[in-house]
Structure 1
Amino acid sequence: MKQSFTFYLTHWVIKLKGLKKLFSEDPINFKKIRKEDVFKPKGSFFKRHIKRRFQVLKTEVTEVRHSDNLNKLIVFVHGGAFISGPAKHHWETIKTIVKATDYTIWLCNYPKAPEHKIIEISENIEAVYDQATKEFDSENIILLGDSVGGTLVTALTQRLIKNNKSLPIQIQLVSPVMDASLSNPDIDRYDVIDPMLSKKGIFSAKKMCAGDVSLKDPIISPIYGSFKGFPETILFLAENDIMYPDGIELKDILQKEEVSFKVIHGENMPHIWPFLPIMKESSISLQQLISLLN
């Protein structure tokens, strides 16, 4: 497929920002990466449509919606390698979804590593979901996560099933991180072509987050857990992404477990491409994501 001019422009911006270099450091420079964090988005849209902010344990939840009578919810767990976020592209994604749908969105600014570890982070995500089920019917809840947000959404779903709790109607995973150990040998081949991420820095971030937990524990590497009984799952898998090999393995697992799922392949796309600004291919894929919301 021929790529758009904006595809090449986006790659130029990624290179200019030095993201590959940042994610090639060990230890990863989380303080420098956090300089891109945005906690209070600017602009008239958010001034009008952020209805409330509230705390669940150590997570700040920002509620964005365009009406007072919306009964459907997206719990948005953002990515950022467990060490950063949310970023501007997360807020812009929320803006696009809210404009196009009748969903309320809860953006979860959860505690980050290395100050906080995976057990505490996971407890926060589960507490947010528990609060969501008090305010919305579970059949009207969708979980959306990109990168390690996909890790947290998937691991949460596994725990919900294990503990016989009500499930969301759907989960959407955008370039999800499924294995914090990065032990799939194919990752080395994708490391060469990935314009954004590098195995070395990502592995450093995962170690910062894991604490005393094994990197192959399902709480941080859900690919080692069970997918039996999962709700409908939508996968956005970028083909020029070090996470792609584990995404393909996840697809095979979902098929084996007879989970209803759909895969959107991003041909020649980088990590989390539906959420990237400017790029025509991003806009098309984000519209696909919106069209697949139940």
Structure 2
Amino acid sequence: MKRSLSYYIMLIVLKIKGIKKDFSKDPIDFKKIRKADVHKPSGQFFKHNILNHFEIANSLISEISTHEKSNQLLLFIHGGAFISGPSRHHWNAIKEIAKQTNYTIWMCSYPKAPEHKISEISNNMDSIYHAASEKYPSHQISMMGDSVGGTLVIALIQRLIKENRDLPCKIILLSPVMDASMSNPEIEKIDAFDPMLSKKGVSSAKKMCVEKIDLKNTMISPLYGSFVGFPYTILFLAENDITYPDQRLVVEKLIAAKVDIHVIEGKQMLHIWPLLPIMKEAKVTLSEIIGIMNNNHVLLKTILTTLILYFALHFNYEF
């Protein structure tokens, strides 16, 4: 497939910034990577549309909305290898989502490794979802996570199902990291041409976060958990991404569990491509995400199910 000129410009920018080089170090230089963190964004949009900053557990929540009476909440769980974030590209995506949907958005900046470990981060996710569910019914909550943000979203859903808790109506996952052990042999093949990530640096970051538990523990490697009972799940995958092989395994598990899923594969795309600046492909895909959010898939499905049951009961139809 022919790529846009902006795609190649993005590759050049990544090369100049040395992103791959930074993610090829062991130990990874988390302090250097954190220099790109943006915890409170500037600009007129955020000045006028950030409604509140507040804390849940040890997480900073920024509440953004362009609507005074929004009845939909998006929990945005950012990526950053557990060691950094949020970054400028996260805020840019939130800005577009807020402008083009009627969602209130909680940007969730959780504690980072190596100072904080996966058990504490997971507890923060539990607390954030509990606080959200006290303000919104579950069918009005959606979740979005990129990279390890996707890890945290999936692991949270697995815990909620085990606890028989109400689930969000949908989850949107952008290049989710599924296995912290990075043991899939297919990763080595992609590492050679992934323009952003390297197994060495990503593995280093995971080890900083893992505490004393196994790298395959479902808190940090949800690939090894159950996917039965998951809500509507939308996945954006990228071929030129070392996390891609494990994502394909998750798709297989979701299908086997008969989960309602929608999978978009970016041909020759790179990690978290829908959030990247400059690229035409990213802008198109972010518009697609916004379209998915504006389309109340769950409500439509509920209405159709109700109609089918109605006809079955009243007209003795057999399905």
TM-score using structure 1 length: 0.99
| 1:47-76 superposed Cα distances (whole Å, 9 cap, x missing partner) | 000000110010000000001100100000
CA RMSD of the aligned region, Å?
A: 0.5
Tell me how far 1:193 sits from its aligned partner.
Answer: 1.0
Matched, 1:101 2:121: no
Equivalence for 2:39: 39
Question: 2:57, 2:211 → 1: CA distance?
Answer: 20
SS in 2 for 1:133: helix
Match of 2:3 in 1: 3
Residue-pair matches, total = 294
> In structure 2, what is the Cα distance between the partners aligned to 1:24 and 1:246?
20
1:84 corresponding residue in structure 2:
84
Query: Aligned AA for 1:247?
Result: Q
| Amino acid in the other structure paired with 1:206 | K
Distance in 2, matches of 1:126 and 1:77, equals 12
Matches within 5 A, 1:63-82: 63-82=63-82
| Identity among equivalent pairs (%) | 56
Q: Deviations over 1:2-60 (max 9, x none)?
A: 10010000110001000000000000000000000001111000000000011001000
Following superposition, the deviation at residue 291 of structure 1 comes to 1.2
Alignment of 1:149 with 2:116, yes or no, is: no
Residue identity opposite 1:282 in structure 2: A
The CA distance in 1 between the partners of 2:255 and 2:165, in whole Å, is 23
Structure 1 residue 288, shift from structure 2 partner: 1.1
Distance, in Å, in 1 between the alignment partners of 2:25 and 2:86 is 21
Tell me by how many angstroms 1:278 deviates.
0.9
Query: Equivalent residue of 2:96, what SS?
Result: helix
The corresponding residue for 1:139 is: 139
Q: For residues 163-199 of structure 1, what are the alpha-carbon distances to aligned partners after superposition, in whole Å with 9 as ceiling and x for unaligned?
A: 0111000001000000000111000001011000000
Instruction: State the distance in 1 between where 2:101 and 2:114 align.
Output: 36
Instruction: Name 1:246's counterpart in structure 2.
Output: 246
Asked if 1:259 is matched to 2:259, the reply is: yes
C-alpha separation in 1, matches of 2:112 and 2:8: 32
Q: Which amino acid aligns with 1:51?
A: L
Corresponding residue for 1:286? 286
Secondary structure of the residue aligned to 1:236 is: strand
Report deviation, 1:213. 1.2
Aligned residue runs from structure 1 range 10-49, under 5 A: 10-49=10-49
Matched residue type, 1:96: E
2:225 matches 1:225:
yes
CA distance in 1 between counterparts of 2:287 and 2:246 reads 24
AA aligned opposite 1:277: P
Match of 1:214 in 2: 214
- Write out the 4+ residue segments of structure 1 that deviate beyond 3 Å after TM superposition: none
- Amino acid aligned to 1:189: K
TM-score normalised by length of structure 2? 0.92
Q: 1: CA distance between counterparts of 2:226 and 2:291?
A: 28
Query: In 1, Cα distance between the equivalents of 2:15 and 2:289?
Result: 26
Q: Distance in 1 between matches of 2:83 and 2:129?
A: 21
**How big is each residue's C-alpha offset from its partner over 1:235-287, in whole Å with a ceiling of 9 and x where there is no partner?**
00011000110111111110000000011111111100000001000001111
Given residue 257 of structure 1, which amino acid in structure 2 is its aligned partner?
Answer: A
Kindly provide the amino acid, as one letter, of the partner of residue 168 in structure 2: P
